[in-house]
Structure 1
Amino acid sequence: MTGALTDIRVIEMGTLLAGPFCGQQLADHGAEVIKIEPPVTGDPMRAWGQEKSDGKSLWWPVVGRGKKSVTINLREPAGQDLVRRLVAGADVLLENFRPGTLEKWGLAPEELRALNPRLIVTRVSGYGQTGPYAAQPGFGAIGEALGGIRYTTGDPGSLPSRTGISIGDTLTAMFATIGTLGAIHARQRTGQGQVVDAALYESVLAVMESLLTEYHVAGFIRERTGSIIPNIAPANAYPTRDGNLHLISGNQDTVWRRLAEAMGRPELGTDPRYATHHARGDNQLELDELIAQWTATLDTAELHRLLNEHSVPNGQMYRAPEMLLDDHFAAREAIAWVDSPDFGAIPMQNVVPKLSGTPGSINWSGPMLGEHNDEVLGGILGLDTDSLEQLRSRGIIG
């Protein structure tokens, strides 16, 4: 195990994506993440996403990577007691159940912190732990709707679109990770743990830039704008001769002049219609058409080379095939190849960000259900073989 968090033990409870993606990030940076799953079924992520013909999920190896799987029936008092014993020696308890669930099971944060005052309880939910909506069910899509990103995503002539990934869940997981790390740092000063309350809708709201201020001060409501940012030009995807789309971002005055040089039309750089930020915004559609006519005469590789020579930010819109073939991805080790018991060596995104002194690592892909029962319950809690067999026979640990 390598990384900045190798001295941190996390008990991950919860399913699907928002909580588990937070656990994935902590595991990537070295934390010992013990994932508690329901016996028999496990986390639904084991079956979600694109599947092979045998029904095994291709999502689980990523979101479950680096974790230790332990099966415990949390609805049974004996299972709840196992959690208390694990929490007594843990740094973090991570959960994303509906608010009130831990309390119903006798695992309220104040009760757990009475056992372990240094414990940090990271709670992920749709609407947060307080407020009139707290008890309502809230998945990532609902958080995206309330937080504002759904309304502003897509083409203005169509219904609001999703981003193509579960952005509400992953944003919340990232903020939960930030909060957890902040609480770990604060504990160094105070010796005390605390509760980290990460809500889906608030995490989306947090990245909505000046949306609220624009409305309050100027009465402006952001609408869907498709592939452009209104009045920021040029910054769009443009067609190439070989059938690709290429992103060009030349919306700074000096960059625009370099783009005009690359186009072989340096006079456009000082043309009053395009010379300034506001002028380009006023003539955005006309400017996009002009650039598209030029890019359509060039193959992608030629366009990329020419724009780089003139220091104009640009890039092809990659899919997985392009990522796997890219020299820069390879040089940076942005993609890791990890052994999977189900699929052999498989590619997945590597640990982010890169730390020079304590780099993280992917130690294994998503584990088999209950793979670490004996290691954790026997090794950490000290349960002997007979005790484990009794728990299995009663359905407590599967």
Structure 2
Amino acid sequence: KRSIVIDLASEEGRDLLLRMAPKFDVFVENYGPGVIEKLNLTYDVMKEANPSIIYARLKGFGLTGPYSGFPSYDWVAQASAATFSVTGRAGDPPTRPGPTIGDSGTGAQLALSITAAYVQKQRTGEGQFIEISMQEAVTLFMRTLGLRTWGEAPQERTGNARGPGTDVYPCKGGGENDYLFVMIVTTAQWDAFCMTIGMPELISDPRFETQRGRFDHGAEFYEIVKEWTLQRTKHEAMKELGSAGVPCSATLDTYELFTDPHLSGRGLVEELEHPELGTVKVMRMPALLSGSDVPMEVAPTLGQHTREVLCELDFSEDELEGLFDRGVLR
């Protein structure tokens, strides 16, 4: 990415953007409700400047409907898409989730939509209008839970437990995040689990022989697993169970994401030099493409490339100096 700063509230700034419009393929805006209309930079206006433009709008609640004029942020979108309602323990209030899927999840879906529109433009020469609502984007991540009741009843909060064999267990060390998450789904995984913790007799124990039994005797089951995990660090427990084919993971914290040997070995974390912050650690994109690897770069400072980009678009130095002097550019 490169960063340029234009004062769109000024007539000169708006006209400058419209002069630039024929040179680019995609325009994206996620201002608050009504801002782009006040700037008079709607799709119709931009399309007049560039008939084949792809014009994307991201809004908290979309452009239509009774909530369309409401402001939104990540967790507002999540609350409106039911993520709060399924997070936390039964009997407790709805809980704010940690991950920012409202921002990141919406952005990923918008990028995918723009990519699809660009592929179509390559074939037809025509652009199009894209609208995405943060609320609706977050519902994409709620469909597995939502389909359990097919819209007939709300999904209950269950805390960390999600059926028999799926829970978080404390481990040796006793730290804030010294826990192991285990997710036993199949009979084969249950058998492997019992063998690994040295209790093969549990396989035929009437209390735990079936999923229903493990559910009914969940408290007893939890204590058995807890006794085993407390004798091991979360990484030791993960290694033993994971090697045996039992789905599980140490509950890593955000610091450990930068130090985990598995992630480090895969090259997820890189160190880059930032002009203002010095050496910073960043995470690459999760997808690895064998034929089009793009090196990581630090995010630009605000307006870092204004002059560079406009020079590439054939604006003269004299014109640019005047625009900078009048505050239209920065």
Asked if TM exceeds 0.5, the reply is yes
Distance 1:345 1:309, change over 3 A: same
Contact 1:149 1:208 in 2 (8 A): yes
Question: 1:183-222 residue pairs with structure 2 within 5 A?
Answer: 183-216=117-150, 219-222=152-155
Offset of residue 106 of structure 1: 2.1
> How far does the alpha carbon of each residue in 1:280-338 deviate from its partner, in whole angstroms, 9 at most, with x for none?
33333332222112211223343233213322222211123323332221221111212
Structure 2 unmatched ranges of 5 or more: none
Offset of residue 265 of structure 1: 0.9
Distance 1:167 1:309, change over 3 A: closer
- Where has structure 1 moved over 4 Å in runs of 4 or more? 210-217
Q: Distance in 2 between matches of 1:216 and 1:333?
A: 41
Is 1:392 equivalent to 2:318 in the alignment?
Answer: no
Q: Distance in 2 between matches of 1:221 and 1:272?
A: 33
Provide the TM-score with structure 2 as the length reference. Answer: 0.92
Provide the TM-score with structure 1 as the length reference. Answer: 0.77
Q: Distance in 1 between matches of 2:233 and 2:77?
A: 41
The residue identity in structure 1 corresponding to 2:167 is N
The residue identity in structure 2 corresponding to 1:387 is E
> How far does the alpha carbon of each residue in 1:236-268 deviate from its partner, in whole angstroms, 9 at most, with x for none?
211112222112222221101100001111121
Q: Distance in 2 between matches of 1:143 and 1:308?
A: 36
Offset of residue 169 of structure 1: 1.4
Contact 1:354 1:360 in 2 (8 A): no
The residue identity in structure 2 corresponding to 1:166 is T
> How far does the alpha carbon of each residue in 1:336-358 deviate from its partner, in whole angstroms, 9 at most, with x for none?
21211122221111112111211
The answer for the alignment partner of 1:317 in structure 2 is 251
The residue identity in structure 2 corresponding to 1:226 is G
Contact 1:351 1:361 in 2 (8 A): no
Offset of residue 359 of structure 1: 2.0
The answer for the alignment partner of 1:352 in structure 2 is 286
Contact 1:214 1:221 in 2 (8 A): no
Q: Distance in 1 between matches of 2:215 and 2:275?
A: 53
Offset of residue 114 of structure 1: 2.5
Distance 1:369 1:287, change over 3 A: same
Query: Which of residues 231, 236, 242 is equivalent to 2:173?
Result: 242
Query: Which of residues 228, 233, 254 is equivalent to 2:161?
Result: 228
Offset of residue 368 of structure 1: 2.0
The answer for the alignment partner of 1:142 in structure 2 is 76
Structure 1 unmatched ranges of 5 or more: 1-66
Distance 1:289 1:92, change over 3 A: same
Query: Which of residues 40, 45, 55 is equivalent to 1:121?
Result: 55
Distance 1:260 1:108, change over 3 A: same
Distance 1:220 1:130, change over 3 A: closer
The answer for the alignment partner of 2:270 in structure 1 is 336
The residue identity in structure 1 corresponding to 2:26 is V
Query: Which of residues 68, 76, 93 is equivalent to 2:2?
Result: 68
The answer for the alignment partner of 1:374 in structure 2 is 307
Distance 1:326 1:136, change over 3 A: closer
User: Could you tell which deviates more after superposition, 272-281 or 307-316?
Assistant: 272-281
Greater Rg by CA: 2
Contact 1:156 1:224 in 2 (8 A): yes
C-alpha RMSD of the superposition = 2.0
Is 1:152 equivalent to 2:86 in the alignment?
Answer: yes
Is 1:274 equivalent to 2:208 in the alignment?
Answer: yes
Offset of residue 128 of structure 1: 0.8
The residue identity in structure 2 corresponding to 1:262 is T
The residue identity in structure 2 corresponding to 1:379 is E
Offset of residue 176 of structure 1: 0.8
Contact 2:33 2:59 in 1 (8 A): yes
Contact 2:4 2:302 in 1 (8 A): yes
Q: Distance in 1 between matches of 2:210 and 2:16?
A: 65
The secondary structure found in structure 2 opposite 1:121 is strand
Offset of residue 210 of structure 1: 4.3
Offset of residue 271 of structure 1: 2.7
Q: Distance in 2 between matches of 1:340 and 1:307?
A: 41
